[in-house]
Amino acid sequence: MDDRSSKTLRLLGGAEMPVLGLGTYPLDNEQVEPVVGRALELGYRLFDTAESYGNEVGVGRALEASGIDRSELFVTTKFNARWHGEDLVREAFQRSAERLRLERIDQLMIHWPNPARGRFVDAWRGLIRLRDEGLVRSIGVANFKPHHLQRLLDETGVAPDVNQIELNPFADRSAVRAFHEEHEIATEAWAPLGKGGELLDDPVIAGIGERHGRTPAQVVLRWSLQLGNVVIPKTKRRERLLENFSVFDFTLAANEMEAIEALSRGERAVTLDSDEFGH
Among 41, 156, 135, smallest CA distance to 92 is for 135
- Name the nearest CA neighbour of 48 among 63, 68, 69, 67: 63
- Could you tell me which of 162, 194, 203 has the C-alpha nearest to residue 270? 194
Q: For this structure, is 44 an active site residue?
A: no
Sign of CA pseudo-dihedral 199, 194, 219, 174: positive
Q: At how many degrees (to 10) do helices 146-156 and 120-132 cross?
A: 60
* Catalytic member of 17, 40, 50, 53: 53
Are the CB atoms for 114 and 79 separated by under 8 Å? no
Amino acid at residue number 11: L
Q: How many H-runs (helices) and E-runs (strands) does the chain carry?
A: 11, 10
Contacts of 194 (CB under 8 A, 6+ apart): 168, 169, 170, 171, 200, 220
The H-or-E segment that residue 221 falls in is helix 216-226
- Active site (catalytic) residues: 53
